[in-house]
Amino acid sequence: MFSSKERFAALFLQRLEMTCGKSFKDSTKLDQYKTLGIMVREYISSNWIQTNEKSRSNSGKQTYYLSIEFLLGQLLDQNLINLGVRDVTEAGLKEIGISLQEVLDIETDAGLGNGGLGRLAACFLDSLASLNLPGHGMGIRYKHGLFEQKIVDGHQVELPEQWLKNGNVWEVRNADQSVDVPFWGHVNVSDQNGRLTFRHEHATLITAVPYDIPVIGYDTGTVNTLRLWNAEPYIHHHETDILSYKRETEAVSEFLYPDDTHDEGKILRLKQQYFLVCASVKSIVNSYRKTHKSLYGLHKKVSIHINDTHPALAVPELMRILLDEEKMSWEEAWHITVHTISYTNHTTLSEALEKWPIHLFKPLLPRMYMIIEEINERFCRSVWEQYPGDWKRIENAAITAHGVVKMAHLAIVGSYSVNGVAKIHSDILKEREMKGFHILFPKKFNNKTNGITHRRWLLKANPDLSAMISESIGERWIKQPEALIDLKSFAYDAAFIEQFQLIKEKKKQELADIIFCTSGVVVNPESIFDVQVKRLHAYKRQLLNVLHIMYLYNRLKEDTGFSIHPQTFIFGAKASPSYYYAKKIIKLIHSVADKVNYDPAIRGLIKVVFLENYRVSLAERIFPASDVSEQISTASKEASGTGNMKFMMNGALTIGTHDGANIEILERVGPDCIYTFGLKAEEVLSYYENGGYRSREYYQHDRRIRQVADQLINGFFEGEADEFESIYDSLLPHNDEYFVLKDFSSYLDAQERIQSDYRDRRKWSERSIENIAHSGYFSSDRTIREYAEDIWGIKPME
Ligand SMILES: *Cc1c(COP(=O)(O)O)cnc(C)c1O
């Protein structure tokens, strides 16, 4: 099909007429996109079947990665690249007058995630398939992904996202593998020959229908599966109010919750969690039963990983199957469960730790609750045996206490592995947040520093740079990203540097065009592109960045002798719709932009841009065009970050705190190739524990701080006198929980170092290339290999 451009072109025209029922001349870009997508699916179909058979019959083990989010982005281009048919496709389409790029641009992002956690799951799928590992994703087929963001007068407005509007060429509906998920009702307990049996009666059933998406590995025959569950009415449902039943059912897979690192605590969210878990665990067990008579050896052939606590009900659900359906003893069932499930913790922010009120939980999931109570009782008893009389220890570690179910505690007790996502984060888990559990289960805890797939974030997003890398060090890096280290010798090669700079300039010009088209702001492509793109959150401190811009503005206005290399500050960020403070920061960025961008006294030296609707496809255009990567979270708060790695891989230099994976970037590139500043995690944590920080002192003693803080409320932003009061209050009356003012001065120093270093472009480029050379460690191939070897015990197929 893709053997030559002529053959491809002929087949493409034939398929176009067949699938769209139109002649080529009447076809739209969407028709062409669909045709190409269908051809790719057809092309991989036998490999998909084979991978399925291989992993089923495989005497080895399989992993199922359960995640409430998969932030996939677009799939067509990556699939063409991974199959090695992109060039022939582009050439074939060109023959018949079609631009591949225009066809690719038609695809809407699959935005089934909020940010880092969902994107991590997507990167892991690519690495699993590319490493020939038997690992499959399971998630929810939300009808609407993360909201589309519009900016109106500087304010965020949310619109429902519509990724399925034009259908989805990648999915296959497998209704024959549907499973039913019970909610509500009650549990009937009876004694049958001395064994208690449990029947869930009068439940409301929802049918989970799987939609399977192929996950195509790079240059390999492996095609794994991402299974997304759709909630549909149970056909034999008997209830009088059929319409409201239908509405409530469909609501379960209708919307992705738009919260990032925040616990919503709503009943619909709990329904989504059990829907995902129940459907996934049942389908895993069904597939295992096809080749095994009993479930006694399940943990030897199956591993179930839970991405954060959202799927933590996998623990009681697997127990339920083993106890109620397989009639195992508690001890047998528990042994299998705790040897099947592993768990990744993503945050230590207390507002993100899931806690379900028992009064909501118990009626919705009565059998789950019974099993959790039993797990809790046995766990507490074992702690008591180890530490008799230590009530405090038991109270702190209990799974249910004070009227809530603590999902992280359930996940830790019910799994054999608990990992954090960067060294510092794993250490904080062990030594502070989960210290009690670490003492009880020292061997469960481990670290797996996050990674990103370099095949999307470098090979696909930056084809020019990728080609140049391959010309210099060969193509080995695409399968073995650690080979990027060979670039080190080119970091000081004049011809290489010159070509690298040309590519960066081209990417900056392309982003400047996007900025102009979407926001109307003209930016100077020769300015420093200083970029902060990530979800909007107080701990990520977009505010620190903004206050620095206000300081620069003030300085340029007051001191005509002061000059800088032109700098463009680029933001992209969605705020959770209910997060009032975050939305105010978006408004503030726009108000600062309006001040700065049009003031002639600034001489165009600084520009501020907010890119609307930050998402994967836009991110792919931003990273290659960036000079400076803003990773300025309050130390200890950002578990890892993955945006930092995408920037690094494209040659941006990091300005960052000693937080998350920034620390490991520093360890690799060395202090000359990164701009670190600010409080250390221990200092932040010690302030939280012992007090002693008074933001007002920094306000009083630093004129620069006083000026920018006052400008939030003194009419500096004309007609918006009250708009930013809550931001001002967060900094002063509320004593600046995130240490923005404390870190302000050292952040300015780091920015000044950037200003002075950027003047020596050659040196700057050397540092960029050093960053790329060391970025191989941050490929998710490395991360996934570690999971496969240390946690899951799975091996490459064949
Ligand atoms: C990588 C990525 C993120 C995570 O960014 P962080 O800086 O690590 O918070 C969020 N959203 C999108 C679209 C991404 O691609």
**Is residue 773, in this structure, part of any structural domain at all?**
yes
184-206 pLDDT tens trace: 999 999 999 999 999 999 999 99
Candidates 305, 346, 507, 658; catalytic one: 346
Statement to judge: residues 459 and 392 lie in one domain: no
- The proportion of the chain whose per-residue pLDDT surpasses 70, expressed as a percent, equals 100
* 401-449 residue pLDDT tens: 999 999 999 999 999 999 999 999 999 999 999 999 999 999 999 999 9
- Say if residue 391 is in the same domain as residue 505: no
- Closest residue by Cα to atom 4, ligand 1, is 116
pLDDT at 56 over 90: no
- Whether the Cβ atoms of residue 609 and residue 570 lie closer than 8 Å to each other: yes
Domain assignment present for residue 274? The answer is yes
User: Is residue 534 annotated as a catalytic residue, yes or no?
Assistant: yes
Q: Is the Cβ atom of 642 under 6 angstroms away from ligand 1?
A: yes
Question: What pLDDT is recorded for position 442?
Answer: 98
Domain membership flag for residue 153:
yes
Is 642 assigned a catalytic role? Answer: yes
Reported as a pLDDT band with limits 50, 70 and 90, residue 170 is very high
pLDDT in tens, 234-262: 988 777 788 999 999 999 999 999 998 88
Closest CA to 80 of 20, 39, 135: 39
Q: Residue 262 pairs with which residues in a beta bridge? A: none
Q: Is the CB of 116 under 6 A from ligand 1?
A: yes
656 lines ligand 1 (CB under 6 A): no
What domain range is 342 assigned to? 44-73+109-415
Best of 454, 613, 628, 642 to mutate for ligand 1, by most ligand atoms within 8 A of CB?
642
Task: Kindly give the distance from the C-alpha atom of residue 619 to the centroid of ligand 1, in angstroms, as a whole number.
Answer: 8
Is 544 a residue whose pLDDT tops 90? yes
Check pocket membership of 119 for ligand 1, CB cut-off 6 A: yes
User: How much is the mean pLDDT over the chain?
Assistant: 97
Residues 385 and 487 reside in one and the same domain: no
Do 524 and 377 lie in a common domain?
no
The answer for residues whose C-beta is within 8 angstroms of residue 444's C-beta and 6 or more apart is 412, 415, 416, 417, 418, 437
> Strands, E, within 272-395: which ranges?
302-307, 341-344, 355-357
Confidence of residue 368 (pLDDT cuts 50, 70, 90): very high
Output helix, strand, coil percentages for the chain, rounded to the nearest 5: 55, 15, 30
Helices (H), 598-715: 616-622, 643-649, 662-669, 681-690, 695-701, 703-711
442-487 confidence digits (pLDDT tens): 999 999 999 999 999 999 999 999 999 999 999 999 999 999 999 9
In this prediction, residues 722-727 reach a mean pLDDT of 97
Burial of 202 (0-12, 13-18, 19+ CB in 10 A): exposed
557 is catalytic: no
Amino acid at site 748: L
Same domain? For 617 and 472 the reply is: yes
Last residue of a domain, one of 392, 415, 438: 415
- Distance (Å) from CA 531 to ligand 1 centroid: 12
State residue 236's pLDDT score.
Answer: 82
The residue annotated as part of the active site, out of 535, 574, 595, 668, is: 535
Q: Which of 59-63, 196-200, 202-206, 698-702 has the lowest mean pLDDT?
A: 59-63
Asked if residue 248 and residue 179 are part of one domain, the reply reads: yes
Domain boundary (415, 443, 477) is at: 415
* pLDDT over 70 (residue 58): no
Split into its structural domains, the chain has a count of 2
Residue 793, in any domain of the structure: no
Q: Are residue 215 and residue 122 in the same domain, yes or no?
A: yes
Same structural domain, 398 and 515 = no
Considering the domain architecture, whether residues 581 and 683 belong to the same structural domain is answered as yes
Q: Are residues 52 and 141 in the same domain?
A: yes
- CA of residue 358 to ligand 1 center, whole Å: 33
Q: Is 236 known to be catalytic?
A: no
How much is the pLDDT for 240? 74
Over residues 732-777, the pLDDT tens digits come to 999 999 999 999 999 999 999 999 999 999 999 999 999 999 999 9
Q: Is 346 designated active site?
A: yes
641 phi/psi in degrees, rounded to 5? 80, 145
User: Residue 551 domain-assigned?
Assistant: yes
Beta bridge partners, 303, equal 63
From the alpha carbon of 618, which atom of ligand 1 is closest? 13
Q: Residue 468 corresponds to which amino acid?
A: M
Examine the domain organization and report whether 729 and 645 are in the same domain.
Answer: yes
Mean pLDDT of 311-327: 98
Protein residue with its CA nearest to atom 15 in ligand 1: 616
Catalytic residue among 144, 540, 590, 615: 540
- 115 ligand 1 Cβ < 6 A: yes
Q: Are residues 458 and 408 in the same domain?
A: no
> How confident is the model at residue 265, as a pLDDT?
84
**Residue 531 falls inside a structural domain:** yes
**Domain-embedded: residue 30:** no
Last-in-domain residue among 384, 415, 446: 415
Q: What is the DSSP string of 90-140?
A: HHHHHHTT--HHHHHHHSPPEEES-SHHHHHHHHHHHHHHHTT--EEEEEE
114: in domain: yes
The protein residue with its alpha carbon nearest to ligand 1, atom 5, reads: 643
Q: What CATH number corresponds to the domain at position 132?
A: 3.40.50.2000
For the question of residue 438 being annotated catalytic, the response is no
Buried b (16+ CB within 10 A) or exposed e, 353-363: bbbbebeebbe
pLDDT at 1 over 70: yes
Which pLDDT value is given to residue 721?
Answer: 82
Mean pLDDT of 78-97: 98
Q: Is the CB of 572 under 6 A from ligand 1?
A: no
Task: Give me the mean pLDDT over the 1-24 stretch.
Answer: 95
Do residues 523 and 566 lie in contact, with contact meaning Cβ atoms separated by under 8 Å?
A: no
Residue 149 Cβ < 6 Å to ligand 1: no
